[in-house]
Structures are given as C-alpha cells and as structure tokens.
Structure 1
Amino acid sequence: MSEHAQSFITHLIGLKDRERGAFAHLKRSLGFDPGAYPPAYPYVERFVGADKHADDPRRQALYLTAGLFAFHPMHHEGASFAAALGRLGRSRESESIEKRFVALLGAEPESLPTLLRQSVSLLAADGIGCDYVSLLDDLARWFDHWNLEARDRLRQHWARDFYRAYDPHTASADDLDAALLATEPAIEL
C-alpha cells in the first residue's frame, strides 16, 4: 500500500464528514470514463500530480476509486476487494457472485468501471466493506496498458483472495486465519 493511496482515502473520508455535495459529484462521476467528469475535479485532481496526462493509469484509478468510495463509503482496512466479494458469495451461497467475479477478472480496463460499480453495489446491499487503499493501488496497475504482466499477477492475486474467502475449505490454516481477520465487521466511516 502506498502512502499516496492512504492519504487520498483519508481525504475522501474527510469529505464524507464535511462536504456532502462532493460525494454527489463523485457518485455521478461513475457514469463517465474515469477522470472525464469536471465537477469531480476539485476533489481528486490535486492528488493526480502535474506531470500526469489525462489517460495516466494512476489518474484513472484515483477517479474510479473516488466514485466507488462515494457510492459505498465502508472502508475496511485489510479486506481486499476480491476477498469482500468472496465473502459476499459465501454468505449468499450464490454462484452468480462467482460468475460476476470471473467476468471481472477477465475485464479489460475499458469495461472495469461498470463491472466494479455493479460489484460495489452488491457489497453495499449486504453492508460489506473493502480496503479502498489497496483497491486504488490495484486499479492503478490494472489501468496500466504497458504492464500486462503486472495486471496478470494482480488478477491471480485477486483470484486467490476471492476463493480463500468464498470457499475457506480450500485455504491453508494460515490463509483461513487471515480470511477470518478480514471478515471482521467493517466500520462505516
């Protein structure tokens, strides 16, 4: 996890407490390509960096994460996004969650925002949070068109996290302990 990602999520948590209008703009930004909705700029652009271009992977990740956080501001440190979905699939005993997750793993960066928004909607419905700091760092790698190897490693990591939480019987004892810690109730910030 990067310090930059941590400070950005801390910024978003602060916005939730003091500026409700910001969350409306950030939620609305989910209907656009990441970074293409000007009313969201005041809340995100200061974290982008002057040397970043419009299609920079980190910039896209910042905007998408901001929108997802505004949609479901339940940050749960240490619970990866994939593990949160696995936990949801296990609790609902639903194969459709697994199918959605597999589709998400195969997603190209262009379709990722829509699939993530749908997944976050499911998490919100069940009150399950995730670690937005790690999600931000993950999305920056996913949006990087030049490093396909890093994206493949990330997909493998997500698959391991999902299936450890989805079916704890396939995990080792150490993995199971980690999964149990990650399934502690999230704190709504």
Structure 2
Amino acid sequence: MASSSTQKPSSSSAPTPKCNFDVFLSFRGEDTRYNFTDHLFVNLDWMGIGTFRDDKLERGEEIAQELLGTIEGSRFSIIVFSEKYAHSKWCLDEFAKIMECRKEMDQIVLPVFYHVEPSDVRKKTESFEDAFAVHEKNVDKETVQRWRAAMTEAGNLGGWHVKDGYESKYIEEIFEVIRKRLGLKQLHVGDDIVGMDSRLEELKSLINS
C-alpha cells in the first residue's frame, strides 16, 4: 500500500506524476486540524492505510496543480465538512475536484458532517449559506455554481454525522469501511505466540531491577 505523508507533493517544471495514496483528507484546518482530522489521520496511518493531508498553513488564492494530481491519484477521499469549511475557496476547489473524480474516476467519497447538519450542506443553509453569500460577491458565477452543485451532491451521500458521543467510534467505523473496500485482512494474534515467554520474563526483570 502507499505510504502515508503529511507532505505536499514537490513542485517542478516537469509534469507532476500522480501520487498513489489510499485516502485523501479534505478539511478546514482551523476547525478540525488538531482534533478530529488529526485523530483520523493518525489512526489510518497506524493501520497501514496510506493517507494524505495537506498541512500547508498559508495558501494562495488558487489550488496547486500538484494537489489536484494527488486527489486524482487517491482511491478514497474523506471530506470533513465543518462549520467554516465552505468559507474557504481553497477547500471548495479541492472539494469540487474530489466530486469530479467521483464521477469520472469512480473515486469513493466518504463525507463526515462534523458538528454540522447534512441538510445544511445539501441545501447550503446556516454557515454554508453565509459562505456562499460572500463568494457570490467575489467569485465568478460559473465557479460558484460548480461549488453549489457539488455541495448538493455531497449532501446526499451517505456518511457520518459527528455530533454527540465519542469521536473514536466514528473513526473506527470509517476505518472499517476503508479496510473492507481495500480488502485488507485483520491480523489475528493468538494467545500462544512462540518465543514470547522469554521476552516477557526479560521485560519483567528489567521493570523490577
């Protein structure tokens, strides 16, 4: 499987090769970077699922072509919709590209509605309505319509509504879906592991010394 990374692909004048990641994470950094998205990334990485997250804090107005290539080269995309997600033009460009890959490349898209209602994403209400009101004043009509259409489509997809309860439960469910789709088998470790008794005794002696 692909190795995980928090690095963005390096840029060069040569054509950018497609990255081979299992999962591409799309999220609004200030909302979920240090909580849900980080926990999700760490768990997928630990389980051996190659996952890409863009950790670039300062972004320009336009999404980098290298990042678009990374989206195309991913087998899954997880979109973490949060309260301020739609306020970012970068996130919306990234998101629209993901939805295009779903149609054209059969990429599997898994939405997470993080403390927002799925209907708000689908209908562009609440914080999403506020965001689009701003974009309509500053972004060309065609681009805004593209974002709106993609948002409606995503809001109708099955996903996870993270609102109450332990976040670890949702992360475990997401992992299970991806694991099964990738055909990964869980490694069963029995009680009688050859050679472990001596290692355990050695460990106990070190602890007691």
Pairwise TM-score range, normalised by the shorter structure: under 0.3
More strand per residue: 1 or 2? 2
Larger Rg: 2
TM-score by length of 1: 0.27
More helix per residue: 1 or 2? 1
Q: Which has the higher contact order (CA 8 A, sep 6+)?
A: 1
